[in-house]
Structure 1
Amino acid sequence: MDPRTEMKDFLQSRRARISPADSGLDGRRRRRVPGLRREEVAYLADVSVDYYARIERGDVVGVSEVVLRAVARALRLDETETTHLLALARAIQPATAPKAPVKPRETVRPGVQAILDSLVNAPAWVSNQRMDFLAGNALGRALYSDMLTDPDGRGNNARYVFLAEGSRTFFRDWDDDADDVVAILRHYAALRPDDGTLAQLIEELSARSEPFRERWAAHRVRLHRATRKRVHHHVVGDLDLAYERLHIPGDEGLSLFVHPVQPDPVTTERLASLAVRT
């Protein structure tokens, strides 16, 4: 990805989604395009129109974080979107030294695996920023067995969602889950612009999946911390799962995902049945 192009497309897409009325501006003037004009964003961010136009072109060398955060507030970006904007700006800055290629972690420490194995009643796994399933406890591996064994998924959540037919049966809210996968991948791509394997994954999905291409063009960014997942497991049936994402200190780029013990008695019973089979 070219970070300048990414910044231009991202800011234009965020600008287009905001109405003048949402920002307290006069929306009665006739408009050829939806959303705010550049001069309106500049006014809200308290910068000149030329300066904002420069930022929107991706020409942000020397632009301070204070100004970028002012633009984020003008565009009503949330925390993840603001982090994404700042990450793109960092990627555009000239390098002070040659950058070594970045590779995602592909293994977990024994201590992390021990933590996973200690969670006997809750599915748990560790993923990197490519969405590879690196390690899990027995219940986590059983829950996501289709993704781990599918020849198109190959143990990668993004590949499984967009390239494996079975994902549309497994994820009961496939469209929403697909939206989230792309939004998270785009956020990770901005954080790791030198990760060649992540770029290759995005190129592969763009080439092979029209639903992925359509979602990638929307420039949404998101980072889940807590949500719910509704899945259909081929052995135990429908499951309604809570979902928590935890950062692993000292292991950059790795996250621990857990489906905590459920208040739903049906899901609890079905997870227990799945655990017996592992």
Structure 2
Amino acid sequence: MSDLNRELADFLRRARSARDPREAGLPDDGRVRRVKGLRREEVALLAGVSTDYYTRLEQGRRIVPSTQVIDAIAQALGLDDVGQGHLRNLVSATRPPRTSGRSRTAVQRVRPGLRQLLDSLDAHPALVLGRRTEVLAANRMARALFADFERMPGRERNYARWMLLSESARDLFIDWETQARSAVESLRLEAGRMAGDRDIIELVGELSLSSPEFRQWWSEHRVHQRTFGAKRLAHPIVGELTVDYETLTLPGDDEQTLFLYTTEPGSPSRQAISILASWSQPAPTPFE
């Protein structure tokens, strides 16, 4: 079984085990369930395919299901939009022909106009993340609030890597486990979309060796796409605060995402951000 077929098989098994038979509309047949979630034959029934066909697909056999079958299986498994997209990516990656070996994609760059936009958002922390959760750019406030990614070596400018391996990230996030798990699930989504990419394979290998939490969460094969939410921080300079974030996929490049962080007006968190802004303000250049 190839690595890509194994990824697909693992995702299907875990999605099946997470599906509640009652939510799937299946009546109680009186049989004792030896496994959590749906049986293979139940997924096949709900998807309108044979049990043998679905079993071979879940075993990682070289099968090329149609779009209709993929959609039917996704519905049977109760996948949300993110899960459905991930399933399509995994199936697509197993379809021949595939390029031999592991490829590397072109290095991403932030266009000058976008960097100017980041700098203009000086009152609010802002990041641009690219493929593999790489941090492509960060404005002054983001560097002061989180970490100075731009001073890191190139291979370390990765949000998931920083979250899992940096002691400063563990100290910064009050809800570190929630935020770190979310980063792993986002990286899982990227790995499905970029199947066969050498850089993401190397990153996953490094994190697997270095972080027991990563190994556990990665094996669960959950996927997540962050679009909005909140982060609770214990900042070493301004103390505890909560920042809300919104994500914007950039026009002209859907592989770059802007993360903009704000605070509630009049709140202690807004005051903390204001203090941090003053603290991180560059000193004026003296006259010659």
Query: How does the TM-score come out when normalised to structure 1?
Result: 0.92
Q: Structure 1: give runs of 5+ residues left out of the alignment.
A: none
SS in structure 2 at match of 1:259: strand
Matched residue type, 2:110: V
Q: Provide the residue aligned with 1:120 in structure 2.
A: 122
Does the CA-based 8 Å contact 1:84-1:191 persist in structure 2? yes
Cα 1:102–1:150 change in 2 (3 A) is: closer
Cα 1:64–1:17 change in 2 (3 A) is: same
Matched residue type, 2:126: A
What is the Cα deviation at residue 132 of structure 1? 2.2
Q: Does 1:217 align with 2:199?
A: no
Matched residue type, 1:119: L
What is the Cα deviation at residue 106 of structure 1? 4.1
Cα 1:150–1:116 change in 2 (3 A) is: closer
Q: Provide the residue aligned with 1:24 in structure 2.
A: 25
Q: Structure 2: give runs of 5+ residues left out of the alignment.
A: 282-288
Q: Distance in 2 between matches of 1:96 and 1:146?
A: 38
Correspondence for 2:187 among 174, 185, 188: 185
Bigger mean CA deviation after superposition, 184-193 or 97-106:
97-106
Deviations 1:197-251 (A, max 9, x none): 1111110000111111011111100101111111121111112111111111222
SS in structure 2 at match of 1:246: strand
Q: Distance in 1 between matches of 2:269 and 2:245?
A: 13
Q: Distance in 1 between matches of 2:214 and 2:101?
A: 29
Correspondence for 1:143 among 125, 142, 145: 145
Q: Distance in 1 between matches of 2:152 and 2:263?
A: 27
Larger Rg: 2
What is the Cα deviation at residue 95 of structure 1? 2.1
Does the CA-based 8 Å contact 2:64-2:91 persist in structure 1? no
Q: Distance in 2 between matches of 1:271 and 1:74?
A: 46
Q: Distance in 2 between matches of 1:9 and 1:169?
A: 33
Does the CA-based 8 Å contact 1:261-1:268 persist in structure 2? yes
Matched residue type, 2:207: L
Query: How does the TM-score come out when normalised to structure 2?
Result: 0.89
Does the CA-based 8 Å contact 1:101-1:195 persist in structure 2? yes
Q: Provide the residue aligned with 1:35 in structure 2.
A: 37
What is the Cα deviation at residue 155 of structure 1? 3.0
Cα 1:60–1:84 change in 2 (3 A) is: farther
Runs of at least 4 residues off by over 3 Å = 58-62, 96-100, 146-151
Question: Which residues of 2 match residues 96-245 of structure 1 at below 5 A?
Answer: 101-103=103-105, 105-145=107-147, 154-245=156-247
Does the CA-based 8 Å contact 1:147-1:160 persist in structure 2? no
Cα 1:170–1:149 change in 2 (3 A) is: farther
Count of aligned pairs between the two proteins: 278
Cα 1:173–1:147 change in 2 (3 A) is: farther
Q: Distance in 2 between matches of 1:207 and 1:154?
A: 16
Cα 1:132–1:220 change in 2 (3 A) is: same
Q: CA RMSD in A?
A: 2.3
Matched residue type, 1:182: V
Matched residue type, 2:128: V
Q: Distance in 1 between matches of 2:136 and 2:224?
A: 21
Q: Distance in 1 between matches of 2:7 and 2:99?
A: 23
Matched residue type, 2:182: D
Identity fraction in percent: 39
